[in-house]
Chain A
Amino acid sequence: MLRSLWTAATGMEAQQINLDVVANNLANVNTTGFKKSKAEFQDLLYQSGKKAGAETSSGAQIPVGVEVGMGSRITATKKMFSQGDFRQTESPYDWVIEGDGFFQLDDNGRTVYSKAGSFMTNKDGVLVNPEGLKLTPQVSIPQEAVKFQILSDGTWEARDKIENKLASGRIELVRFINPAGLRSIGRNLYDITDSSGSPVKGNPGETGFGTITQHAVEMSNVNVVDEMVQMIAGQRAYEINTKAIQTADQILQMVGNLKR
């Protein structure tokens, strides 16, 4: 059968994944701390027919080898950790990491990582994310506390009505050599993989680590215009690939009709 049929099909498949990624980015345009992904296209293997320098039957030499490509595929969906815009909030437990770094959360004993710094207290006064996962190292706020302050270096303190310090501590961040290699596990959380490298712990403000800004949340870093352009280009590319399939199909049909 015609090789073109399969080649065009790989192109369609790749474009489809591309559109899936764009759609997910667009769906999360309002998700706090969301980081967009990008589909990385790559070509597939080349099949070589005649090698360069081979002789034709009349003795002439083929100057350039005949290799035909087999289409394209998506090699990776790369996460883009560029900073999203900040939005001011009232809550003292809304923090932004300005720069590199992730919060550590405890998911039933397993540590997972997140960029979303929108926390709240649970019934025991412990800071948790909106899904109820505890921030590590744990931040416990006494019942009597009315004022909570966190500084850019991650040190925090809770005070009561008459400004007595009730509790204090310092939060810790982690960073990765290759954050693009982290695995999204949904709910705005990331898990480590072989390619992300192990987490490197540190305090906010130290070399390589971002600082903490209180009373703000980091919004999604999805740029709607960029995504729309990607979507248009992806859809058109998909269409063109379908045309290639149609052409290959019609040629195949003609081949079938050669004999009457």
Chain B
Amino acid sequence: MIYSIGGVANVYIDRVDQLDYITNNIANVNTPGFKAVKLFHNTMDEATLTYIPEVVTDYSPGTMYRTNNALDVAINGEGFFAIQSGEETAYTRQGNFTLDKEGTLVSNEGKYVLSKTGKKIKIPDGTVQINEKGDIAVDGNQIDTLKIVSFKNPQALTKEEGCLFKDAGNAGLAEKNDPLLRQHHIELSNVQVVKEMSDMIDIHRSVEVYQKVIQTIADQDRLATNQIGRLA
């Protein structure tokens, strides 16, 4: 048990931090390819009596939604698309691609989508077909293949604006040779509103309790300093 105001305040702050994650999930309830992130405080650091924050990304799939757009691709099951982000390669589940003015396949933030050989993909005029392995064909002629990768330990990925994930080298990157892609679909956000709302209520109530505890400790302190030792 924690008996000091400071100790309770630390737990209080932990709960408020959790709320930041919930709000971010809720704000991204409509972001395609978004993966919900949760903050947990399960293990205590004995030295400081504070909990060690633990961030867990929920990589469960979002709902598949048919858009009828030829350049919308969703990954059914495991896997990530590879995107050129600056000098580095980033990975995403967000497959609502588009073309730039040169006809190159780009993410909706204008970053190049990479092919199996790690190059940008130029799409000529015509009807685009993408099969479940990621082969891109235009008017029946195959032109390139999308790069799809998977990670042994996706929790080690870091996040970046634009639903991008980055690998610092410890996530167990591997080429995925048997992906299951679905053209004309996007993967919706996997945020579970019910879960987020109930967690939000939970935090709200706990914070109420912590407030009462802090007030009670403060009251006892006041009693101790003002009353004890005073002669009636």
Contacts and interface: CB of A to CB of B under 8 A. Distances in A.
A42 to B, nearest CB: 6
Contacts of A208: 125-126
Interface stretch (A53-61, A110-118, A160-168): A53-61
Given A82-B68, A240-B193, A247-B203, A52 B156 contact: yes
A68 B19 contact: no
B148 interface: no
B204 A251 contact: yes
Interface in B17-41: 17, 19-24, 26-32, 34, 37, 39
Given A80-B69, A247-B204, A45 B160 contact: yes
B183 interface: no
Interface string B161-174: 11100001010000
25 contacts: A3-B23, A41-B28, A41-B34, A43-B24, A45-B160, A49-B53, A56-B48, A62-B53, A65-B55, A65-B158, A68-B17, A68-B20, A68-B21, A68-B39, A69-B37, A177-B100, A178-B100, A195-B100, A196-B101, A237-B29, A240-B26, A240-B29, A244-B19, A255-B211, A259-B218
Interface stretch (A10-18, A24-32, A87-95, A144-152): A10-18
A194 B101 contact: yes
B54 A56 contact: no
B212 to A, nearest CB: 10
A58 B207 contact: no
A225 interface: no
B118 interface: no
Contact of A58 (B21, B47, B69, B159): B47
Contacts of A197: 100-103
B103 A11 contact: no
A8 B27 contact: yes
A182 to B, nearest CB: 11
A40 interface: yes
A72 B158 contact: no
B162 A42 contact: yes
Nearest to A2: B16
Interface residues of B, number: 64
Contacts of B28: 11, 41, 43, 69, 71-72
User: B-side binding surface: helix, strand, loop or mixed?
Assistant: mixed
Contact of A7 (B27, B46, B98, B211): B27
Return the 3 tightest CB-CB contacts between A and B, nearest first.
A11-B27, A197-B101, A69-B24
Contacts of B168: 52
B160 A4 contact: no
Contacts of B103: 177-178, 197
Contacts of A10: 27
A241 B101 contact: no
Contacts of A3: 20, 23
